[in-house]
Amino acid sequence: MTTADEQQDGPAGELAPMKAQVYKDPRPKEFFDPFHERVRRAKPNYVYELVRVVTSLYAWVVFRARGVDAWKVPVEGPLILAPNHFSFMDHFFVGAFVRRRVQFMAKSQLFSKPMQWIYSPGGVFPVRRGFADEDAFVTANAVLGRGGPIVMYCEGGRSRSGRLSEKPKRGIGRLALESGATIVPVAIHGSSKVRNWKRLQFPKVVVQYGDPVRWERIGDPTRDQQQAVADEIFARIKALYAELDERLRAV
Q: Is residue 144 part of a domain?
A: yes
Q: Is residue 10 part of a domain?
A: no
> CB atoms < 10 A from the CB of 179, how many?
23
Predicted pLDDT of residue 10: 42
Predicted pLDDT of residue 20: 64
pTM confidence score: 0.89
Q: Is residue 2 part of a domain?
A: no
**How far apart are alpha carbons 221 and 175 in whole angstroms?**
9
Predicted pLDDT of residue 197: 66
Element (H, E) at 83: strand 79-83
Q: Is residue 12 part of a domain?
A: no
Q: Which domain holds residue 238?
A: 28-250
42 vs 131, residue with greater confidence: 42
Q: Is residue 23 part of a domain?
A: no
- List CB contacts of 41: < 8 A, sequence separation 6 or more: none
36: helix, coil or strand?
Answer: helix
**How far apart are alpha carbons 12 and 144 in whole angstroms?**
36
Q: Is residue 214 part of a domain?
A: yes
Q: How much is the average pLDDT of 149-172?
A: 87
**How far apart are alpha carbons 124 and 40 in whole angstroms?**
11
Please report, for residues 10, 61, 144, 177, the alpha-carbon distance to residue 141 in angstroms, rounded to integers and kept in the order given.
36, 35, 5, 11
Q: Is residue 105 part of a domain?
A: yes
Q: How much is the average pLDDT of 211-232?
A: 97
**How far apart are alpha carbons 72 and 167 in whole angstroms?**
26
Q: How much is the average pLDDT of 93-116?
A: 90
Predicted pLDDT of residue 165: 87
* Residue 24: burial class (beta carbons within 10 Å; 0-12, 13-18, 19+): exposed
**How far apart are alpha carbons 206 and 83 in whole angstroms?**
12
Q: Residue 2 pLDDT > 70, yes or no?
A: no
Count: domains in the chain: 1
Q: How much is the average pLDDT of 201-229?
A: 95
Highest mean pLDDT among 89-93, 118-122, 138-142, 246-250: 138-142
Q: Are 16 and 196 in contact (CB under 8 A)?
A: yes
Predicted pLDDT of residue 17: 66
Q: Residue 72 pLDDT > 90, yes or no?
A: yes
**How far apart are alpha carbons 93 and 57 in whole angstroms?**
10
- List CB contacts of 113: < 8 A, sequence separation 6 or more: none
Average pLDDT, the chain: 89
CATH number at residue 235: 3.40.1130.10
Q: Are 96 and 60 in contact (CB under 8 A)?
A: yes
Predicted pLDDT of residue 6: 39
Q: Is residue 57 part of a domain?
A: yes
Q: How much is the average pLDDT of 153-166?
A: 82
